[in-house]
Amino acid sequence: MRSRFPARRLTRRAVLAGVTAIASLGAFPASAQESIKLGLVAAMSGQSAKSGEAIVRGLTIAADEINAKGGVLGKKIEIIVRDDESNPAKGAIAARELVQREKVAALFGGLDTPVSLAIVPFANSSKVPFMGVWAAGTPITRNGAPENYVFRVSAVDEIVDEALVAYAIKKYGAKKPGMILINNPWGESNEKGLRKALETRSIPFAGIEKFETNDVDVVPQLTRLKAAGADALFLVANVAPSAQVVKSLDRMGWDVPIVSHWGPAGGRFTELAGPSAAKVHFIQTYTFTGKLSAKGAAVLDALKKKYPEIKSLADVTPAVGIANAYDAMQLTALAIAKAGTLDGPKIRQAFYEIDSYDGLIKSYKKPFTVENHDAIGASDYIFTHFVDGEILPLTQ
């Protein structure tokens, strides 16, 4: 079977990423006549590699189920993975290569909002459905294209921000929260959403501070928020920068409530942030804890059988990567089956024709419409925190 990964300089990180992806995917048919190719562009290396692995696992478990029942249109699903390294330019190149060289029928998008935003124009111009499974930036699906080919089974910043504000008020009685946001399009997306959510409640904010992915000390930004009277913090950043915020708060001795987007769930947060990681309350779409539905139990069992390294629920973290990707694959397969073809415009139209699907996250009813390309709504979020490396739900 020929390699599905592009040629590049074989650094140790690249080799490890390639091995992880290949091991996750298992054996797939190589002939285009025998399979329907679907592509994934996601961070498979670096701090977010654990999340990329979760997405691959969710897609793979769903594809295994579909293939065991005969596939789609009489063909097996083949998943082809490309590592974007959390780099927008590399993500855009990978998407183009998957569509133009590998001839994938649809793309799945990975972790980072800037990467997904870089892929959106190409997906729309190429008329290839692009299904988001993690990145939450509001403009990803609400991109203004006359013919929008971007769908999503994941969080949406504007809706998440409403939930973050409501939680901070209910849980902590926040009256003057502050924002500490990553300085990129994802941070910008959430700044808009948080401002709007606060303004509708006539609640002032103490300040808005930005920081960079590679910052190792955000004490100056946090000091300004403390001086301005912030009684809670809204945090938006991925794993490593979120951990730096927590460690900076520890150095300051400032014990302020932190209400976060789901960035901390994406990797080695507890290891990087230390004991105070458990203080961060963050939003999720799914966990494998508690009493599972029949589908949840079946997916968890399939994960343990396919990936023997899974020994406990802590090993299926982040669950959202698995769950979002699993439901996204099932919905995409339904759309292809309804379309009866691999023609992009017809698959796009078929997404609107899905009436219902009993999924892992929820039972979907008309998950997509021309006006709304996001299958996850405001009532589908839960708040969680880390306990001994496991993501557990919080009582709201």
Q: Is 214 a member of any domain?
A: yes
Q: Is 1 a member of any domain?
A: no
Q: Is 391 a member of any domain?
A: no
pTM of the model: 0.83
pLDDT computed for residue 268 by the predictor: 81
Domain identity same for 135 and 162: no
Residues of the domain holding 92: 12-155+294-380
Cβ atoms of residues 302 and 294 within 8 Å: no
Cβ atoms of residues 351 and 151 within 8 Å: yes
pLDDT computed for residue 193 by the predictor: 96
Helix or strand (DSSP H, E) at 236: strand 233-236
Query: Secondary structure of 304-349 in the HEC alphabet?
Result: HHHCCCCCCHHHHCCHHHHHHHHHHHHHHHHHHHHHCCCCHHHHHH
Q: What are phi and psi of 223, to 5 degrees?
A: -65, -40
Q: Is 125 a member of any domain?
A: yes
pLDDT computed for residue 33 by the predictor: 52
Domain identity same for 279 and 299: no
Q: How far apart are the first and last CA of the chain?
A: 50
The CATH number for 220's domain is 3.40.50.2300
pLDDT computed for residue 12 by the predictor: 36
The domain total for the chain is 2
Q: Is 78 a member of any domain?
A: yes
pLDDT computed for residue 389 by the predictor: 78
Structure tokens of 341?
């073809």
Q: Is the peptide bond before 318 cis (omega within 30 degrees of 0)?
A: yes
10-residue stretch averages of pLDDT, the chain, 396 residues long: 36 39 39 81 89 95 98 98 96 98 96 95 98 95 97 95 96 98 95 97 98 94 98 95 96 98 85 93 92 94 95 85 97 98 98 98 97 94 89 80
Cβ atoms of residues 115 and 91 within 8 Å: yes
Going across the sheet that includes 35-42, the strands are 76-83, 35-42, 106-109, 130-132, 150-152
Domain identity same for 41 and 140: yes
Domain identity same for 65 and 26: yes
Q: How far apart are CA 62 and CA 165, in angstroms?
A: 34
